[in-house]
Amino acid sequence: MELGYTPKEQAFRDEVRAFLRDSLPKEISRKVLEHKKLGKADIMRWHKILYAKGWVAPHWPVAHGGTGWSVVERHIWEAEAAEAGAPPLIPFSVTMCGPVILRFGNEAQKKFYPPRMLSGEHVWCQGFSEPGSGSDLASLRTRAARQGDHYIVDGQKTWTTFAHYADWIFCLVRTDPSAKKQEGISFLLIDLKTPGITVRPIITMEGGHEVNEVFFDNVRVPVENLVGEENKGWNYAKFLLGNERTGIARVGASKRELKRLKDIASTEPGDHGPLIASPRFRDKIAALEIELMALEITDLRMIAALRDGRAPGAEASILKIRGSEIQQRLTELMMEAVGPYALPFQPETLADGWNGEPLGPDYAAALAPRYFNYRKTSIYGGSNEIQKNIVAKATLGL
């Protein structure tokens, strides 16, 4: 595997850097780099800038709005965008549902949904997890009963990220209660304006509103909103989750945060000068950096496999496991680096318009909320325990 960039790829990296320098709004990148809260307007503003450039969906086929980039160029884009402080787009349309529709949807669905995902006209969320059906997703109980040319959907989804922003939700629903649990599931596209749908916020421990509960009470969904074949939704979900778990590694963002950790440790005083001078703390940073380098190599190995036409395998689960653990470790070491200044829990300092005085350095106030928020990374997208089972079965044959 060749890890160096070709002259063409280096030129592409220069093009990406120039675009980010000229087009990424400074006030948005500042929020990302300083761990401030991003609103829907911030994310969609960046989405529309990328749409105008034609760079919203690099991994889509060119015929449907993709860029035609190689897998290496996509890797370069993701790494450079993360380092520059570009906000991640809401992933549920372009990264998750869009590829499923383009792969398994009918022609009418391909013509209607993907263009509106690209433009940002439709914002999507994911309806997979349910109370009692998270890691064991195939045990889901939301039902869709066929009545003529509609499905009648009843049930509940939970931990639904950005449902309060979304126009549409893609859902796994049980269409054959008598079948084995993986074999009776279908993949439905549901307009959130449909009568009978209620979105209720879940406020997480750091005071943020990212996730929600979504209730379906006798919701009528046209049969034409079924993706692929009835009762084959589990296959489509596995295809979607393979793509999602790859992105969860967030190597570029972790490299950016590692630099920030080093900056904080170089500023915060220890017993004998800056904390970075402490051999014990420096060893912790070095160990984490080695882990991140190994993760990046694994990411590049998977990129090489994709370049050769192979689908993501157990590598996607490995990336998800180690990527989420590294993200959590970064937040832990930042908290340790600022010491007592990490204790005051001031989530209000992250909001737009706040002009009070934080307790301690400006950057310290965001660290506790971020630490709490990142406890979720080892759970969403399939818990790390489940991912280890996947690796054991796929790689070790256990």
Q: Are 316 and 246 in contact (CB under 8 A)?
A: yes
Residue numbers annotated as active site: 244
Q: At 371, which amino acid appears?
A: Y
Cα separation, 246 vs 321, whole angstroms: 10
* φ and ψ at residue 204, rounded to 5 degrees: -85, 170
Cβ-based neighbours of 238, under 8 Å, separated by 6 or more = none
Burial of 262-300, coded b for 16+ CB within 10 Å and e otherwise, reads bebbeebeeeeeebbeeeebeebbeebbeebeebbebbb
Distance of alpha carbon 132 from alpha carbon 389, whole angstroms: 19
* Cα distance between residue 114 and residue 101, in whole Å: 8
The two structure tokens encoding residue 373: 């928020």
User: Which is nearest to 264 in space by CA: 88, 81, 80, 35?
Assistant: 35
Q: What is the 3-state secondary structure (H, E, C) of 84-111?
A: HCCCCCCHHHHHHHHHHHHHHCCHHHHH
* Strands 185-191 vs 211-222: parallel, antiparallel or unpaired: unpaired
- Residue 102 sits at the vertex; the CA angle it makes with 97 and 107, to the nearest 5 degrees, is 120
Query: Alpha helix locations (H) across 308-383?
Result: 314-338, 367-373
* Terminal Cα-to-Cα distance of the chain (whole angstroms): 29
Token pair 């074949």: residue: 229
**Three-state secondary structure call for residue 143:** strand
Residue with tokens 């063409």: 8
